[in-house]
Chain A
Amino acid sequence: MEKIIAGNNIEVNEEGYLKDFSQWNEDVARNIANEEKIDLTNRHWDVIKFLQKAHQDKVALSIRKVGKSGVVDIKEFYKLFPQGPLKISTKIAGIPKPASCI
């Protein structure tokens, strides 16, 4: 389905994840973050950039992998995205929701 995010028609799935990463930009990220009641800080951006790079490198993302990345530890990851770190950060980053149980 299509959703208007930051003034653009963006293709998203039923949970609001972008279907096409080429439609992502920083304004789109800020808008999705607002919907999740998150003000993006530099630390959020560090995590988002890391996630996008990991996705590009076809790394299967999990909380454990993010915690070991050296970018953010698990405690801070939860502090940055309290309502579900992996699922919300990936939504803002414009990449698919990881199908991970850990």
Chain B
Amino acid sequence: MNTNRMNETMPVEEKTGKINKMMIILSKATLDNVYAAFVLANGARMEGIEAEIFFTFFGLEAINKKKLDHLHVATVGNPGMHIPTMLGGLPGMEALATTMMKKEMEKLDLPEIPEFLEILEASGVKMWACKLAMDMFHLKEEDLFDGVNGVLTVGDFYNQGSGEGTHMLFI
């Protein structure tokens, strides 16, 4: 594996530019994007790296108590699905694709969104809702998953990311 080869050529203690913190911005509500953000945040914590997620625009659905258990895979405008756009728009297609994806995820020991949020909270991932998006969607803090740490402006989120070895990721 590539990772092993890297470790052989470069002993851990000699690595420079070590990642200390991952700041992940989630702006989409489709299941594949939400999973990408969650797996990256959780994977960081597993390596002893700090992780924070900023939920903005449609990404807020992933922490919206009413929506988080009903996220879907996009079947329209998603070339990776290999479904013709016209068919992808038919009633029931998104539900079908979502059910199929969830089955595969369970096989891989990937939790569903509500349980994944609990895992992120227990792992010490900080979760922030974007103030602007909250206002736009008329949401209040009590509408959000209890593990959310608070509501921040963009500036606040950048402040959270200060320090050496911080990386930002937009999804």
Contacts and interface: CB of A to CB of B under 8 A. Distances in A.
A54 interface: no
Contacts of A85: 46
Contacts, number: 46
B45 A65 contact: no
Contact of B122 (A73, A84, A100): A73
A74 B4 CA distance: 27
Nearest to A79: B124
Nearest to B43: A101
Contacts of B123: 63, 74-75, 78
B122 A86 contact: no
B119 A84 contact: no
A102 B42 contact: yes
B169 to A, nearest CB: 16
Interface of B: 4, 7-8, 12, 39, 42-43, 45-48, 108-111, 119, 122-124
